[in-house]
Amino acid sequence: MSRKKVLVTGAAGRIGQVMRAGLKDRYDLRLMYHRTILAAEAGEEVVTGSVADLASMEAAVDGVDAVVHMAGDPEVSATWESVLEKNIHGVYCTYEACKNKGVKRVVFASTNHVTGFYEQEGVYTTPEMPERPDSFYGASKAFGEDLGRYYVDQFGLEVVCLRIGSFQPESAVAERGSDRILSTWLSHRDCVQLVWRSIEADVRFGIYYGISGNTRGYWDIQSARQELGYDPEDDAERLA
């Protein structure tokens, strides 16, 4: 059976670089860069361009089996102008390019900030609860989830949205300045597993919180366990 070809957008970012290393043994990778361009290694393809440019995205997705969409402005404090181009127009171009080129599966890097006001109020949160974004950034990712739902229902795409928590190395947990990360941590290896399971799962559309199996977690990952087969290996409590 031939290996799937997977495009990773935002491949120079913190998560993108971990995906590059963690997925290369499982898939043939095409890496999309914008400003920072890293040299290709054996078996990798490299493409360059902006996710906010539809022609660039159509060229980037042509011939792949799935897209792991990590590109965008990752800052919670991002301005409206920035999220409008990089996150809102960027995710539109990604879905539209996949529709136009016949790519079925998109794994969309969403964020816990889609429901950030629940966290501020101390409310345990499940994926089916209404969105309550805490920032323009959170609202832009909520738009990406909703637009993905539309592309699934209208055009037959398959979209898995991952509301990523605190994606940090173990050292950030051990040397933490506050205990929030003990609830919100997503380890590197759990993130890799969550992404490849999102590529492989028999799911047309889903929204899942992306955290490790944290004892103190207040975002529910039961649906990720049941529907994706996610089996986190890490728990921030081990580093507490």
Catalytic residue ranges: 137
Cα distance between residue 195 and residue 114, in whole Å? 19
Which residue type, as a one-letter code, is found at position 166? S
Helix, coil or strand: residue 189: helix
Apex 232 CA angle, 228 and 73, nearest 5: 75
Burial label for 177, CB within 10 Å (0-12, 13-18, 19+), is exposed
Q: Phi first, then psi: what are they for 25, rounded to 5°?
A: -80, -15
The answer to whether residues 95 and 147 touch, using CB atoms and an 8 Å cutoff, is yes
